[in-house]
Amino acid sequence: MKNVLVTGGNGQLATCIKDIDSRASEYHFIYVDLPDFDITDKEIVNRLFEANDISHCINCAAYTAVDKAESEKELAYSVNVTGAKNLAEACDEHHAIMIQISTDFVFDGNQGFSYKENDKTNPLGVYGATKWQGELAVSQALERHFVLRTSWLYSEFGHNFVKTMQRLGAEREILNVVSDQIGTPTYAGDLAKVILKIVQEDINEYGTYHYSNEGVASWYDFAMAIFEIAEINCNVLPIKTEAYPTPAKRPSFSVMDKSKIKNALQIEIPYWRESLVRCLTN
């Protein structure tokens, strides 16, 4: 039986994969996470690959604290670049395929229309910069790789915008939410299905792909939809980014074009609001 290594095993995307991995019964999934498995430790990574016949490595491990990354640059680099490189080199040595999860934050948001995979990257902060460097490290280390850029990821698990809004909506009568940052919410459960498809069908059209749900929204739109679907009575007020300063600058527009992955995998992608309904009514 082939083994699939999933790093960041306690995170929301890995948990969504775990939720459906029984559909790929021909594979054995190995979930690893801190403190037992540190992707920044090359020796630990190599030992695991030597002890197990790994066919695919899905790297869900990442430093994702966007604002904290501005003051923890070395840690963000260690996880997002060095860790990704360690996994990619191990995959190359042991003839495994790597699926690296990346982000819309590799773009600066100034383009004004949907980003394609080969559009110019220009990260605005440490998080986006280290994820972009991680992409490069993976692509330079091995040919058999996929980079999946996604955006505004949420699920029933872990820490994310949906769960934060549910908590704050229950605690407060009024919330201010940014309305001039535009992107696409993505249900991690949908992304997990795409990852499983790549593994199960042994897809070999390697390279960088964009995956988010369909449609466009601001964080304000997203919050309004959460409260409406979850039937939470909270008054949401739209505010400009400048009214809510953060250590890290965010792209103002990070909608991604998904044509490439839809054609390569022959998939239809759900509209973001439909997926949000599924997440909140499961």
Q: What is the pLDDT of residues 110-166, one digit of tens each?
A: 998 999 999 999 999 999 999 999 999 999 999 999 999 999 999 999 899 999 999
Is 278 inside any structural domain? Answer: no
- Which candidate, 207, 74, 224, 212, places its Cα nearest to that of 161? 224
pLDDT in tens, 4-55: 999 999 999 999 999 999 998 999 999 999 999 999 999 999 999 999 999 9
Q: How many structural domains does the chain have?
A: 1
Cα(204)–Cα(72) distance, integer angstroms: 36
Concatenated DSSP letters for 168-228?
HHHH-SEEEEE-S-EE--EEHHHHHHHHHHHHHTT----EEEE---BS-EEHHHHHHHHHH
CATH of the domain at 69: 3.40.50.720
Q: Is 253 helix (H, G, I), strand (E, B) or coil?
A: strand
Which among 214, 75, 59, 257 is positioned nearest to 139, based on CA atoms? 59
**What region, left, alpha or beta, does residue 175 occupy, with left being phi > 0 and alpha being psi -120 to 50 degrees?**
beta
Does any domain span residue 166? no
How many alpha carbons fall within 13 Å on the CB side of residue 66? Answer: 17
Q: For the chain, give the percent of residues with pLDDT over 70.
A: 100
Name the catalytic one among 115, 127, 154, 220.
127
- Which H helix or E strand runs over 108? none
Helix/strand/coil for 134: helix
Asked, for residue 245, whether it belongs to a domain, the answer is no
User: Is residue 217 included in any domain, yes or no?
Assistant: no
Residue located via tokens 């680099």: 77
Is 167 within a domain?
A: no
240 inside domain: no
Domain contains 136: yes
- pTM across the whole model: 0.95
Could you tell me if residue 178 is inside a domain?
A: no
Structural domain for 32, as ranges = 2-158+186-212+256-270
Question: Is 31 an annotated catalytic residue?
Answer: no
